[in-house]
Amino acid sequence: MRFLLDAEQTAFARSLDALLTAADTPAVVRSWGAGDPAAGRALWSRLADAGVFALAVPEAYEGLGRRPVELAVAFVELGRHAVPGPLAETVAAAVLLTGPGPAKRFLPGLAAGRTIATVALPGGGPYVLDTDASDMELTVTGTGSAAETGTGTGSAGAELRVTQASGSPPASRVRRSLDAARRLSLPRAGGELLDAGPQVAAGAAEALRWARLTTAAQALGVGLALLDRTVAYVKRRSQFGVPVGSFQAVRHRLADAKIALEFARPLLFGAALSMDPADIAAAKVTACEAAYATARTALQLHGAIGYTAEYDLSLWLTRARALRSAWGGPGECRAAVLGTDALSGGARRCS
């Protein structure tokens, strides 16, 4: 029992932080959202060089082995720097593609950052993220209602298909998200059949877990960034002759944000250790609620400047809202915690 990151994990976080600080991510986010993914792709490959995507890929396929704790560490940093793109989706893709055939063909490219993947899974919402900027889109269909357990009826008809970049939708079919950096489109039917059968449904359930975990980590990072920036701002900004950060109404809102984020953190790492669906759901709802509440606080305490698209704070503000709904919103996650969703099938005692 030593429930703390070790020195290597902490150093990994620090090195990613340094890399991303130097990368001027706000500019990258803005061009990504405008439909020009070049800077984002360049950053993507640097993140891959640092090992980020390899953490979702077994060693046999040029990965670092599946390491959810390190992945969570990395995704907190990605969130802190508002890195755009189908990040959780690429991790989910790596998990989906671990089946015998596709693994060899695709996983090395994902691990190395040559391939950006996006996915559409049952239970994952109506849109696929950033398909126009991705190299491939994976879809799982036909899992019936028991998608995530892979044990229910109907999973025998599950299919995993891939479409490659050449088939990407025209920009005109891309819908803007309320987060300007997220580009949404409807999943495409068809594509090459990679695998079929109950193992696809089981793989989809597992991929959903990894997407949820990494989304939770990203959300925590988004919340931490919002808190840091707001604390810095209220120390600087003066009204009535004193820094606004000396007003108790301001201080107490920020203290509440700190409490919420600091209690989301252990849930995230506890979930990464267990990979239990209920633990992951608990981490997701808590991190996302904490990040979202912090976003509201951040906006309020910045005043009007926080409400402008020009000011970088906006990049994190809207991200917090979008991540809250991605890969299982608060209601779905809470149902999973109580073991009453269609997916986990039974009561579960706490701890």
Partner 1 sequence: MDLTHSPADEAFRAEARTWLGAHVPARPLPSLETAEGFAAHRAWEAELGADRWSVVSWPAAYGGRDCGLVRWLLFEEEYYAAGAPGRVGQNGVSLLAPTLLVHGTEEQRVRILPPMARGEVVWAQAWSEPEAGSDLASLRSRAVRTDGGWLLSGQKTWSSRAAFADRAFGLFRSEPDMPKPHQGLTYLMFDLRAPGVTVRPIGRLDGKPAFAEIFLDEVFVPDEDVIGGPGRGWRIAMSTAGDERGLTLRSPGRFLASADRLAALWHGRGRDPFTRDRVADAVIGARAYQLFTYAAASRFLDGEALGPESSLNKVFWSEYDVALHETALDLLGADGEPADGDWAEGYLFSLAGPIYAGTNEIQRDIIAERLLGLPRGRR
Footprint on this chain of partner 1 (rule: CB under 8 A): 1-6, 9, 69, 227, 231, 234-235, 242-243, 245-248, 250-252, 254-256, 258-259, 262-267, 269-270, 272-274, 279, 282, 285-286, 330-331, 333-335, 337-338, 340, 347, 349-351
For partner 1, give the closer residue by CB, 247 or 311: 247
Of the candidates 53, 82, 90, 69, the one whose C-alpha atom is nearest the C-alpha of residue 3 is 69
Shortest Cβ 81–partner 1 spacing (Å): 21
Report CA-CA distances (Å) from 237 to 101, 227, 233, 247, 305.
58, 15, 6, 12, 11
* Three-state secondary-structure class, residue 163: strand
Pick the closer one to partner 1 by CB: 68 or 191.
68
Nearer to partner 1, 39 or 290 (CB): 290
Q: How far is the CB of 97 from partner 1 (least distance, A)?
A: 27
* Residue 273: CB minimum distance to partner 1, A: 5
Query: The sheet that has 128-129: what strands, in order across it?
Result: 128-129, 183-185, 175-176
Taking the least distance from each CB to partner 1, the nearer of 175 and 235 is 235
Q: How far is the CB of 291 from partner 1 (least distance, A)?
A: 15
Give the CA radius of gyration of the chain: 20
| Cβ 252 to partner 1 shortest distance, Å | 4
Nearer to partner 1, 171 or 273 (CB): 273
- CB of residue 244 to partner 1, shortest distance in Å: 9
330-338 long-range contacts, CB within 8 A, separation 24+: 330/285, 330/288, 330/289, 332/123, 332/281, 333/212, 333/281, 333/282, 333/284, 333/285, 334/281, 334/285, 336/277, 336/278, 336/281, 337/278, 337/281, 337/282, 337/285
Query: Which C-beta is closer to partner 1: that of 166 or that of 239?
Result: 239
